[in-house]
Amino acid sequence: MKQIGSVAALLLSVAILLAGSGLQGTLLPLRGQLENFSTVDIGVLGSAYFLGFAAGCLLGPALVRPVGHIRAFTALVSIASTTALGHALLPDAIVWWGLRAVTGFCFAALYMIIESWLNERATNENRGAIFSIYTIINLTVLTAGQMMITLDTPASFVLFALASILVSLAAVPVAMTTAPAPAPIASVHIRVRHLYRISPVGFVGGLIVGLANGSFWSLGPLYAQAIGLNTTGIAIFMSAVVLAGAIGQWPFGYVSDRRDRRLVIIFGGTGAMAAAIALALLPHDETLVVLGLAALFGCFAMPIYALSAAHMNDFVEPGGFVEAASGLLLVYAGGAVVGPMIASTLMRGIGPMGLFLFTAASHALLVCFAIYRMTRRARAPEQDRVKFVDSLRVAQVVAAVDPLADTVEAAPAQETQET
C-alpha cells in the first residue's frame, strides 16, 4: 500500500481529468448539432481529436523532457482546460476542429506522463494492483463524466465551464504532491511493417478497432439523439457501452488465454457486427431494447483492442513489448482519424443507421481477415503466449514514440510481462 500511496495524488488527478474528458466527449457532438454543424463536421471533430492524439504520441516527449513531468502536466492541463472553454466561446466548426486537435495532443501527452509515472513507481509485486485501480478509474470516472451531461442543457455555457473546471482541478493533486517525479520519458522506435509481419491479425485488429470505436466515440451521442433519446438517455446509452465493455474484458481474456486468440477475436467481431446491425436496422421504439443492444455492442466490441494486443504480444520478440504497444496505439489512432469521417458521411446520406452499418462492416472485415489468417499460420506456441491481463496492462501504456530512434526502451514492458 505504501507504493500505491505514492501515486495516490496522480490517480486522483487522473480521476478528475477523465471526468472532464468524458463530459466533453458527449457534450461536443450534441452542442455541435445545436450550432447547426453538419454530421460530417461533427465526424471531422472526432477525427481531429485522434489526429492530435497521434501527434501527441510523436511530439509529446519534446515538451516533457526540458521541464519535467510536473511542470509539463500542469501546462498541458491548463491548455486542455482552455480549449474546453474555447468551444463555447467560438462555435465555429473549423475552430472546433483545431481546438479538438489541441485537446487530443494534450491528452496523449498527459496519458504519457501519467503512465510512465505509474510504471516507474510500480513493482512486480504491486503493478497489478496499481494498474487495476488505474483501469477502474478510467472506466468508472469516464462513465461519471458522460452522465454529467444530464446536469444542464448542452445549449448552455454551464457544461463547458464544468468540463474546464474539472480539467483545471486535475493539476492540483500533481502540483501539490511531495512524491518525486519519475525519470525522463524514454522513446521507442516503431517499425510498422515489422509489426504487421509478426502479427497481421493483431495489427489489423488495432486498425479496425480504431475505425469502429473512433466512429462510435465521435458520433454515438449524435446517433442516440437522432433515434429519439433525451439527454439522460444519451448519457445512459454511452455509459452502457463503456460499462459492458469493461465487464467483457475478463471473460474474453480468460478464454483467449486457453484458445487460439483469433477465434476469440472472430467471436467478438461477429457479436459486435450482429449488435451493430440490430442497432442500425431494428425499430428504436423501446428504449430498454436500444440500451440492451448498446451494452451487447460494448461487451463484444470493446475487448477486441486488448485481444489484438495480446495476440501481437504472443509473437513479439523479447524486448519488443513497448514497441508493439506504442505501434498498435498509433495504428488505432490512424484508424480513428479515418473512421469518423467515413461514418459521418454515411450518416449524412442514409441517416443515423449509417454509424452502426459502418461499424458492422468494419468488424466483418476483421472477422474475414482473421479467418483467412487462421488458414495461413498456426496459433502461437504455448510457451510464447503472454497472459491477457499482462497484455491489457501493456496496451494501456501511451509510450513516447521517436521515429528516428535506433533502439527500443524495453524495460517497462518486460517488467509488466513478469507480473
Half-sphere exposure for 414 (CA within 13 Å, toward CB): 8
CA dist list (Å): 95 to 87, 98, 194, 379, 402? 8, 5, 38, 48, 29
**Which pLDDT belongs to residue 30?**
94
Q: 296 is written with which cell numbers?
A: 451487447
Question: Is the pLDDT score of 372 beyond 80?
Answer: yes
Question: Is the pLDDT score of 194 beyond 90?
Answer: no
Mean pLDDT, the chain, whole residue set: 83
Q: Are 103 and 49 in contact (CB under 8 A)?
A: yes
Q: Are 336 and 211 in contact (CB under 8 A)?
A: yes
Q: What stretches of 289-394 adopt beta strand conformation (E)?
A: none
Question: Is the pLDDT score of 398 beyond 70?
Answer: no
* CA proximity to 235, closest of 220, 249, 218, 245: 220
**Which pLDDT belongs to residue 253?**
80
Q: What is the CATH number of domain 1-185?
A: 1.20.1250.20
Among the residue ranges 277-286, 369-378, 386-395, the one predicted with the least confidence is 386-395
> What are the domain boundaries of the chain?
1-185, 192-400
pTM of the model: 0.84
**Which pLDDT belongs to residue 141?**
87
* Position 399 confidence tier, pLDDT thresholds 50, 70, 90: very low
Tell me if 1-185 shares its fold with 192-400.
yes
Chain-centroid distance of CA 278 in Å reads 24
**Which pLDDT belongs to residue 382?**
53
Q: What distance separates the 2 farthest-apart alpha carbons in the chain?
A: 57
Q: Tell me: the pLDDT tens digits for 7-62?
A: 778 888 888 998 999 999 999 999 999 999 999 999 999 999 999 998 988 887 77
User: Mean pLDDT across the stretch 294-303?
Assistant: 94
Q: Are 277 and 309 in contact (CB under 8 A)?
A: no
Decide: residue 66, CB within 10 A, 0-12 exposed, 13-18 middle, 19+ buried: exposed
**Which pLDDT belongs to residue 379?**
66
Superfamily of domain 192-400: MFS general substrate transporter like domains (1.20.1250.20)
Measured distance CA(15)–CA(218) in Å, rounded: 21
Question: Is the pLDDT score of 273 beyond 80?
Answer: yes
For the beta carbon of residue 6, count every other beta carbon within 10 angstroms: 17
Question: Is the pLDDT score of 298 beyond 60?
Answer: yes
**Which pLDDT belongs to residue 154?**
93
Q: Are 318 and 198 in contact (CB under 8 A)?
A: no
Q: Are 355 and 215 in contact (CB under 8 A)?
A: yes
Measured distance CA(183)–CA(328) in Å, rounded: 24
Is the model more confident about 131 or about 273? 273
**Which pLDDT belongs to residue 289?**
95
